[in-house]
Structure 1
Amino acid sequence: MVAYAGSCHCGAVTLDFRSKRTPAELGARSCQCSFCRMHGASWTSDPGGQVDITLAGPVSRYRFGTKTSDFLVCTACGVVPVVTSEITGRFLGVIRVDCLEEKAAFLDAAAPMDLDGELLEARIDRRAERWTPVAIKQEDMH
């Protein structure tokens, strides 16, 4: 697997995203929801990959819309490097490509996506099928 490193702006939230796929194969999805448009966020995921998230500082978990996923917002710098959701007992997520060191390679294959009309059950099924398995580690902040 190839490792793609990333973080929020200040480094309090770090990502180790691993995939057998190239950035061109993974691509990026530019979500058209109001939150993602306001933040200029594009996302990627690989159900066959893994993302390890390390929290070395406090984060806020922001939920909106269907309230079925957590946008992990670094409370120090305000960047959202990953979104997670617990689905059938598993944690899955999408990685913000703008927070990856190799973001340009992902963004070259970016495509807009609009999921506003997606039914809740279909949304959960899509995430279960396409999002990346997640492990979160909280570092001792003392």
Structure 2
Amino acid sequence: MNEHTGGCHCGNIGLRFSTERDPSQIEVRACQCSFCIKHGSRAVADPDGRLTISVRDIARLRRYRFGLRTADYLICSDCGVYVAAITGDDTKAIVIINALDDQKAFSREPLPVNFDGESREQRAARRRLRWMPGEISFD
């Protein structure tokens, strides 16, 4: 199992992405929504992997929702780093490789993706297939 760790700049939010796959073989997606563009987001997920998000101070964890409001975009309210997105039921997630310590290991060219035309049902189905199991724990 490969473990990739990271988190926000101030250390309030920690990340542990576990996968059997080599990071150079994982598709990197660059969502083209206005939120992700403004953050320079590059996201990865392995449906057979797992993302664990640990939070020291829940009061400093910002969950931002927009659009269809089907996922929480996790941002540290102190340092402003966007670290991950997780479905509203906290079961499926993506990790933002910009927040990983070894982000350069994810060497594939980001694939621009646009999900603007999806319905709520289509978006949920895509995430069930392509996102990975995720969980948030509080230290």
TM-score relative to the length of structure 2: 0.93
CA contact 2:72–2:86 (8 Å) conserved in 1: yes
Q: Please identify, of 39-48 and 99-108, the stretch whose mean Cα deviation from structure 2 is larger.
A: 99-108
Q: CA deviation at 1:54?
A: 0.4
The alpha-carbon deviation at position 105 of structure 1 amounts to 2.2
For the 8 Å contact 1:43–1:97, the answer to whether it is kept is: yes
Separation (CA, whole Å) in 2 of partners of 1:38 and 1:60: 17
Q: How many residues align?
A: 137
Q: Could you state the TM-score of these two structures normalised by the residue count of structure 1?
A: 0.91
Deviation at 1:22, TM superposition (A): 1.1
- What does 1:57-96 align with in structure 2 at a 5 Å threshold? 57=57, 58-86=60-88, 91-96=91-96
Letter in 2 for 1:66: L
**Runs of 5+ consecutive residues of structure 2 not aligned to the other structure:** none
Mapped contact 1:27–1:107 kept (Cα < 8 A): no
CA contact (8 A) 2:8 2:14 kept: yes
Moved segments of 4+, more than 4 Å: none
2:32 is matched with: 32
Identical-residue share of aligned pairs (%): 36
Query: Shift in Å at residue 135 of structure 1?
Result: 1.7
Gaps spanning 5+ residues in structure 1: where?
Answer: none
d(CA) in 2 for partners of 1:126, 1:22: 23
Instruction: Report the aligned-residue RMSD.
Output: 1.3
